[in-house]
Amino acid sequence: MTGRNQSIISEFLLLGLPIQPEHQNLFYALFLSMYLITVLGNLIIIILIRLDSHLHTPMYLFLSNLSFSDLCFSSVTIPKLLQNMQSQVPSIPYAGCLTQMYFFLFFGDLESFLLVAMAYDSYVAICFPLHYTTIMSFKLCLSLVVLSWVLTMLHALLHTLLMARVSFCVENMIPHFFCDLSAVLKLACSESHVNELVIFIIGGPVVVFPFLLIIVSYARIVSSILKVPSSRGIHKAFSTCGSHISMVSLFFGTIIGLYLCPSANNSTVKETIMALMYTVVTPMLNPFIYSLRNRDMKGALRRVLCKKKSFCV
């Protein structure tokens, strides 16, 4: 009887951001600018690391993958958001919704795993500088990158396949600007306890464990730095670690607050703003925090530009 009352949903309606019509163009320009900065910043990093042999090190192997992940992560949601802001009917096909959900989970998880690898790399470089090249071998670094890609791919695929077996009835309005896993699951009119159980059992550790590993790594780094009586080294390391920790806290803090510790009075507006922080702001700021203000990256940019200039002459 339940099956007869169910209808096949061919598309979902994304309600988007709670923006007044008179402010629509302003926010469109803002998000477009942020997206272009994200794309440009991450592309510069990927190209520089590719072209400059001085940057073919473990740290920059992780950075190039992080930049690619940031570029794709923002591209999963922002172009569709911009399109819907200019559309009278902000819809997304059912298949498109599942596809967006898969890549959102994939690149979001990939970013957290790569941040763990980068934190470990920094830990080894500062705490065991004499053994750095031995510990962070090319084989280990490549294994960490491949493992990150494979685990996140499987995790995203699991959630997407479980979502594909859920039935949806008449209600198809998603109070979000993208096909968020929990928001879509609330529209289900069939049994979804398995999905919720998997989110609790697997989703939690996928977010919490990387965050704890990063915090432990930086705690060990800070502890190691304080043992060395060098004010210059302490200032440099703390400025680097401080900026890294702030970005990690912004990324993981909003995700944990939104998905793992939801409060009863969390409004849709509050949830949307928190989602914007890790889907739009973090991918835009990561290139500046991790790379573009780095001395090696500036040197690489100078060498590439000088090489190109001499080649043109």
What is residue 195's predicted lDDT score, i.e. its pLDDT?
87
Our count of domains for the chain comes to 1
126-135, 151-160, 238-247: which has the highest mean pLDDT? 151-160
pLDDT by residue (tens digit) across 10-65? Answer: 889 888 887 888 888 899 999 999 999 999 999 988 988 888 888 888 888 998 99
Q: Has residue 107 got a pLDDT over 90? A: yes
pLDDT: is 193 or 72 the higher one? 72
Structural domain that includes position 218? 11-308
Q: Has residue 122 got a pLDDT over 90? A: no
pLDDT by residue (tens digit) across 261-313? Answer: 655 555 567 778 888 888 888 889 888 887 666 777 777 777 877 776 555 44
Taking CA atoms, 70 is separated from 42, 99, 112, 118, 284, in Å, by: 7, 18, 11, 15, 8
Q: Has residue 221 got a pLDDT over 80? A: yes
pLDDT: is 79 or 202 the higher one? 79
pLDDT by residue (tens digit) across 176-188? Answer: 889 988 888 888 8
Q: Has residue 106 got a pLDDT over 80? A: yes
| E strand or H helix that includes residue 255 | helix 231-255
Any domain includes 4? no
Mean pLDDT on 232-255: 72
Question: With 0-12 CB in 10 A as exposed, 13-18 as middle and 19+ as buried, what is 22?
Answer: exposed
CA distance 49 to 290: 13
DSSP for 167-195, written as a single string: -B-S--EESSSS--HHHHHTTB-S--HHH
Any domain includes 6? no
Any domain includes 159? yes
What is residue 3's predicted lDDT score, i.e. its pLDDT?
42
- What tokens appear for 134 in the block? 């031995």
Any domain includes 167? yes
Any domain includes 5? no
Strand duo 173-174 + 11-14: pairing: parallel
CATH number at residue 150: 1.20.1070.10
CA of residue 67 relative to chain centroid, distance: 10
pLDDT: is 249 or 241 the higher one? 249
- What tokens appear for 93 in the block? 């096909």
Tell me the three state secondary structure of residue 93. strand
pLDDT by residue (tens digit) across 135-189? Answer: 999 999 999 999 999 999 999 999 999 999 888 887 888 888 899 888 888 888 8
CB atoms within 10 A of CB 64: 22
22-26, 159-163, 237-241, 253-257: which has the highest mean pLDDT? 159-163
What is residue 6's predicted lDDT score, i.e. its pLDDT?
46
Instruction: Decide: 112 and 209 in contact? Cβ < 8 Å.
Output: no
What is residue 239's predicted lDDT score, i.e. its pLDDT?
63
CA distance 272 to 254: 11
What is residue 36's predicted lDDT score, i.e. its pLDDT?
95
CA 211-131-217 angle, to 5 degrees, is: 15
